[in-house]
Copies of this chain bind each other. A is one copy, B any other.
Amino acid sequence: MSTVYQHSTLAALMGKVLGGSATLAELKEHGDTGIGTFDGLDGEMIMANGEVYYMDGEGTIHHVTDMAKTVPFATVHHASDSSEKVKFSAGNMKEMVSLIDDRELENTFSGVILQGSFAYMKVRSAPKSERPYPSLSEITKTQREFEETNISGTLIGYYSPELYQGTVAAGWHVHFLSDDRTFGGHVLGFDADKLEGDLTIFDNYELHLPIDNKEFREHHVDMDGLKEGVAAAEGSQD
C-alpha cells in the first residue's frame, strides 16, 4: 500500500483560502518528500529526505527548521513507498507524460523523485500575499520566473488524473531543488538528457481538509470558473 497525502485543495487556493492551516510537523507525519507552499501562498516548498526548503519570492532558497511554520496546501509521500526504479531519458515536461502513458497510469495518482543534470531549468515563485488575499490570477501577475543552466538537482512531483482537476492541478505538478540547495521552485520547464529515480504508484489518495479553518469552511468554489482558473494559475508546464 502506498499513500499520497494532500492537505487542502487547489479550489480552496482559488477561493483565496491562502492562510496556513497545517504545520510542517503535521505534514511530516504523512511523508518525507513533497511539494507545497507556505502561509500566504509564500513561495514554494520542497521537502526532500525529510528536510524542508523554502524558495522565497526573490528566488532565494532557505532551509526551514521551524516545524511550526504552516502551509495552506501541500502534497507529500514517503519515499520508501517507491514501487519502481525508473530511468527517464526524455528531456522535458511535455515528455514526462510518457512516464504515465507507457504504464497506463492515466487513472492513478503517481509521484516521482528524479535526479540528474539539467542543461536548462525554469522555475517560478510567488511573493507572500497578505489579507485580504488576492486571487491566484492576480498573484500570477506578480510572480517571478528564474532560470538556470547546467545545474544538478532533483525533481519532486506528482501526477494527478484529469478527474481530480480542481481538487488538485491535474497532470504533473513538479518542484525542483538543486544539489547545492541554492536554486529551486515550481518547475515551468526544463531540458535534461537523462534522469533517474523513483516512480511511486499510489493506491491511496488521502485528502486532508482543514475543516476547523473558518476561511476554508466558508469559501465558495466557482465550479464554472475552476477549469479556466486552474490553467491560468498553474501556468503551462512545457
The residue from B107, B164, B218 contacting A217, defined by CB atoms under 8 A apart: B107
Contacts of A109 in B (CB 8 A): 209
Contacts of A209 in B (CB 8 A): 107-109, 202-205
- The CA of A104 and the CA of B161, in the complex, are separated in Å by 29
Residues 152 to 175 of chain A near chain B (Cβ within 8 Å): 161-167
Contacts of A166 in B (CB 8 A): 163
Contacts of A207 in B (CB 8 A): 204-207
User: Interface code A106-127, partner B: CB below 8 Å = 1, 0 otherwise?
Assistant: 1111000000000000000000
Q: How many residues of A contact B (CB 8 A)?
A: 36
User: Interface code A124-168, partner B: CB below 8 Å = 1, 0 otherwise?
Assistant: 000000000000000000000000000000000000011111110
Contacts of A212 in B (CB 8 A): 203
User: Interface code A191-213, partner B: CB below 8 Å = 1, 0 otherwise?
Assistant: 00000000001111111111110
The reply to whether the CB of A75 lies closer than 8 angstroms to some CB of chain B is: no
A218 nearest in chain B by CB position: B104
Contact B223 A163 (CB under 8 A): yes
The reply to whether the CB of A11 lies closer than 8 angstroms to some CB of chain B is: yes
- Give min CB distance, A74 to chain B, whole Å: 15
User: Interface code A8-27, partner B: CB below 8 Å = 1, 0 otherwise?
Assistant: 01011000000000000000
- Give min CB distance, A215 to chain B, whole Å: 10
Residues 82 to 120 of chain A near chain B (Cβ within 8 Å): 104-109
The reply to whether the CB of A69 lies closer than 8 angstroms to some CB of chain B is: no
